[in-house]
Structure 1
């Protein structure tokens, strides 16, 4: 019994001492902050692509080469596929004025005899009265009304597209590919690509729209050479 009486005061004393130590700790003491996670290294910005080198235009009248000129039309067929048709046997000329691009011009004739979807029955249907009515309207034509510079090696060509004797304005976004001597023809040549979007119903060729898309994308590539015996002007000063 005496031992128990001695242990109780001792235990109380130890408890009081512990409380005193806690009270002595600074009121604003906080546990050490965890170290911030290392930040990943910031990747260096990728090198920007070099600016396109300007192509030196050469003034002259260039005749389209039908063997290296193609007009491709593409549309959606009920959303299942995006077939294409080619318009070949193209004829025409490009007058390019390197000193004053606005004085340039384009005239093109697309005979429907050159239409080729690679499916004979479909070609016959496209030439029928359901679509182009080629027996009555054998050609489509394009004649520029405005030619503008649209940046390095880019032009915007606005012109009148005529199909089935219906004429509507169309804008071509044109890329200048090259001016120089065509190595096989041994004559000065110029090359261009162009894209445009038209509504076929505007030209009386709207059968099955809108299930077969009314909008048709046109992609054009052409190579043109100066007429034999003609010489182009000197390149424009840069």
Structure 2
């Protein structure tokens, strides 16, 4: 297994990834969130149905990330809470079946990057900023395909998207943690 030690090999602002369309590895990726309940405890959850794409260009200016998340795939570990969250009181998955993200700018160096983009829930689109850490690039011992791992963190405000229900019970701030793994286009790199 080879690993690209990005801190030793990158010039500032360069990417250790070959250009092309990288494919999401859904078995090793997760979209997680945390929200405070009553201001004292955290409720953690995830979305299981995620489709994402990573396009690498020659420079960071040419990087594009897109994702579509099925809101009905919400899982907080409590079926009653999940059903209520999916209802018209909160997410209203009948009217808002998906949440989408499209990057608008990526910049940084070494392992630390920032991604700006637009997050859409229902008919509301707002800008978001994610701190992105490049975990590394390695060849999988299973099939020698090249994988890149990323962790992205940020936060949104529910009220920005018209998801105001539960004030006093639920925090307005939702913290987001994405653990994503992408596979290099076939016939590239190595």
- Same structural fold, with TM-score higher than 0.5 when normalized by the shorter chain: yes
- Aligned mate of 1:136, from 82, 85, 95: 95
Number of residue equivalences: 179
What secondary structure sits across from 1:83 in the alignment? Answer: strand
The 5 Å alignment of 1:1-16 reads: none
Deviation for aligned residue 1:226: 3.1
Q: Which of these two proteins has the greater Rg computed from alpha carbons?
A: 1
Q: How large is the Cα RMSD of the aligned pairs? A: 1.9
1:104 and 2:60 aligned: no
- Structure 1 gaps of 5+ residues are 1-51
Question: Under a length normalisation based on structure 1, what TM-score does the superposition of the two structures give?
Answer: 0.70
Change (3 A) 1:83 1:91: same
Pair 1:232 & 2:176 matched? no
- Which structure shows the bigger proportion of residues in strand conformation? 2
TM-score when normalising by structure 2: 0.86
Of Structure 1 and Structure 2, the greater helix share is in 1
Give the CA deviation at 1:96.
2.2
Question: Aligned to 1:77, which of 20, 37, 49?
Answer: 37
User: What is the alpha-carbon distance in structure 2 between the residues aligned to residue 130 and residue 143 of structure 1?
Assistant: 26
Q: Which structure has the higher relative contact order (CA within 8 Å, separation 6+)?
A: 2
Moved more, 169-178 or 210-219: 210-219
State the distance in 2 between where 1:104 and 1:55 align. Answer: 19
Runs of 4+ in 1 over 2 A off after TM superposition: 52-56, 182-186, 230-234
Secondary structure (helix, strand or coil) at the match of 1:71 reads strand
